[in-house]
Amino acid sequence: MDLTEPERRARTLAGAGGRRILGIAGPPGAGKSTLAGSLARALGPGLAAVVPMDGFHLAQAELVRLGRADRKGAPDTFDAAGYTALLRRLREQQDGVVYAPAFDRCLEEPVAGSVPVAADVPLVITEGNYLLYEASGWAGVRPLLDEVWFLAPDDVLRVERLIERHVRHGRERARAAAWVARSDEANARLVAPGAARADLVLGP
């Protein structure tokens, strides 16, 4: 992906004064975390922090208790209220450090206190599937974001990347492909309408 326009827009947000929050949304496997990391590196140290929505996955034990483990990644398998509260705290931050959680793909679990965000960092980049989703408690996210971009890559390549990701983290290929077709693609269909509400849509 050509970073010229996204980087220009991110720099504008970072230089706007005060704290700005940029959201990067899109279906599973769209490249959200890759773009967020690339933008943070392009802006340079101290100008951007990346806070992933995936840090608000419910723990595996809780998903099992709720009977949702076979749908991990669906909207109701996250703590949407906790994520919204963190975004509000980041927007209002005046001093100190706010610690955000991240998601460890090797453990397949969220890990608290993983991402430090200092008060003088002007741009927080947050990324995840449901930033533009309006059901299941997610409607409060969009008003806390200054801009939201939607990634819409080629679906064939996106699905292949997803399968490869699951294989890297221990799933046999046939099971990985079945999970993507049943779970990840169901979630992709849920978030697709959000593209119409994005400030910028980045295609293939």
pLDDT band at 42 (very low <50, low <70, confident <90, very high): very high
Class of domain 4-153+193-202: alpha beta
Could you report the per-residue pLDDT of 17-31, keeping only the tens digit for each?
Answer: 999 999 999 999 999
Which helix H or strand E contains 58, and what residues bound it? Answer: none
Nearest-Å Rg of the Cα atoms of the chain is: 16
Q: What is the spatial distance between Cα 163 and Cα 172, in angstroms, rounded to a whole number? A: 10
Mean pLDDT for the chain overall: 95
pLDDT band at 169 (very low <50, low <70, confident <90, very high): confident
Work out the average pLDDT over 70-80.
96
Q: What is the spatial distance between Cα 189 and Cα 101, in angstroms, rounded to a whole number? A: 26
Give pLDDT, residue 2. Answer: 60
Give pLDDT, residue 106. Answer: 85
* Interior/surface letters 123-136, b for 16+ CB within 10 angstroms, e for the rest: bbbbbbbbbbbeee
For helices 32-43 and 4-14, give the axis angle rounded to 10 degrees.
60
Percent of the chain with pLDDT over 70: 99
Could you report the per-residue pLDDT of 98-108, keeping only the tens digit for each?
Answer: 999 999 988 88
Give pLDDT, residue 203. Answer: 87
User: How many residues are present in the chain?
Assistant: 204
Model confidence at 182: pLDDT above 90: yes
pLDDT band at 3 (very low <50, low <70, confident <90, very high): low
Backbone φ and ψ of 182, nearest 5°: -85, -45
pLDDT band at 122 (very low <50, low <70, confident <90, very high): very high
Amino acid at site 125? I
**Model pTM score:** 0.94
Which tops the pLDDT comparison, 141 or 170? 141
Q: What is the spatial distance between Cα 19 and Cα 48, in angstroms, rounded to a whole number? A: 10
